[in-house]
Amino acid sequence: MRWRVWFDRLLVLLILLAAWQGGSLWLGNYWLSAPWSVATRFFAALFNGEMVFHAGYTISEALAGSVIGGVPAVLLPFLLRRQPIVVAILDPFMVGGYGAPKLAFAPLFILWFGIGIESKIALVAAVVFFIVYFSTLSGVRALEPKLVQMAQVIGASERQVGRHIVFPGAVPAIFAGFRIAVPYAIGGAVIAELISSNRGLGYLVQTGAMNFDTTQVFVAILAATIIVHAFIAVIDLGERFLLRWRPRGAVLIADHGT
């Protein structure tokens, strides 16, 4: 049974690549770069250091922004755990910040921080903060009150409750938040580079399009896509390591009824 699924998928992949290559032959590389040219250029860029230069820049922006935005977003719900009134006061502002289009602030950040790396980091941080904040908050709120009571009964201090009960319980939610945030972090960095930059994958896309070099455009997009999936894979690995105690796959065996 399994091999048939993989065979089907391989078939779909071949059809997609064939259609892409065919489309490129028909329309010309100028309009639609061929998969073969993209692959060769991608590896060439990987080995001559060009890719490391640009992708490394984008990755640094995403990482720095994720740390600057993510760390306070994780800490805040824990610090405010015993302050429901403060959480309630903040609520409409956080909901507004979550709903507001952060990328619309890109021109403002460029105005403030210049076209260098700082404006991109600020944008990524703003995007990541709200996603991770709400995810962590939901994890802290979903906490089992009985576990807290149990800990209090056996004499745990407030700090110990936070460290041993609340934090482990919220870890899945924190990871979920970062996993959701990854495409936004990379996407935010790339869009800021598209608007104005002299380095990074967004810059590669922009200059590629300006020089009618679609291969370069596709190579840069491919690299960004790979980075997104690599980030998600790293987060999943980290989560799996931290959540060894969780019965994995148990949820998959859902009741399919009679």
Partner 1 sequence: MSSAEITSELSESHAIPRQWIVTAGRIALAVALLAAWEWGARAFGPLFFAPPLATAQRIVEMAGNGKLLTDTIATLRVSVLGFVIGCACGVSLPFLLRLSPRAAEAIEPFIMASMGIPKYALTPWLILWFGIGDAPKAIVVTLFVFYIVFITVFAGVRGVDQRLINMARIVGASERTIARKVIWISLLPFFFTGLKVALPRAVSAAIVGEFLVAVEGIGFSIERARQLSDTTGVFAGIVVAVTLVLIINAVVNALERRAMRWRPTDRDMQI
Partner 2 sequence: MAGTPMLEIKNLGKRFPARAGREPPPWIIQDMSFEVAAGELLTIVGPSGAGKSTLLNIIAQIETASAGEIVFDGEHIASPEQKALHPGLNRRIGYVTQDDNLLPWRTTIDNVLFPLEVQGTLDDAARARAQELIGAVGLAGFERYYPHELSGGMRKRAALIRTLVYDPPMILMDEPFAAVDAQTRTQLQEDLLRLWSLKRKTIIFVTHDITEAIALGDRALVLTQRPARIAAEHPIPIPRPRQVKDIFTMPGFAAIYAGIRADVQ
| Residues making contact with partner 2 (CB under 8 A) | 1, 257-258
User: DSSP string spanning 144-172?
Assistant: -HHHHHHHHHTT--HHHHIIIIIHHHHHH
Is the Cβ of residue 44 or residue 95 nearer to partner 1 in the bound state? 95
Residue 200, Cα to own-chain centre: how many angstroms?
17
Cα–Cα distance, 114 to 111 (Å, whole number) = 6
Residues 181-240 that bind partner 1 (CB under 8 A): 183, 186-187, 190-191, 194-195, 201-202, 205-206, 208-210, 212, 214, 217-218, 220-221, 224-226, 228-229, 232
Secondary structure, 3-state, 192-221: HHHHCCCCCHHHHHHHHHHCCCHHHHHHHH
């403002």: which residue's tokens? 108
Binding site partner of 123, from partner 2, partner 1, none, Cβ cut-off 5-8 A by kind = none
- Residue 90 interacts with partner 1 (CB under 8 A)? yes
Q: Which residues ranging from 22 to 81 are in contact with partner 1 (CB under 8 A)?
A: 31, 81
Residue 15 interaction partner, one of partner 2, partner 1, none, beta carbon < 5-8 Å per kind: none
Residue among 1 and 153 whose Cβ is closer to partner 2: 1
Closest contact distance (angstroms) between CB of 159 and partner 1 is: 15
According to DSSP H, which parts of the chain are helical? Answer: 2-27, 35-47, 50-79, 84-99, 106-113, 117-141, 145-153, 158-161, 167-195, 201-210, 214-242
Closer Cβ to partner 1, 71 or 194, answer by number: 194
Q: Is 107 in the site for partner 1 (CB under 8 A)?
A: yes
Nearest approach, Cβ of residue 244 and partner 1 (Å): 25
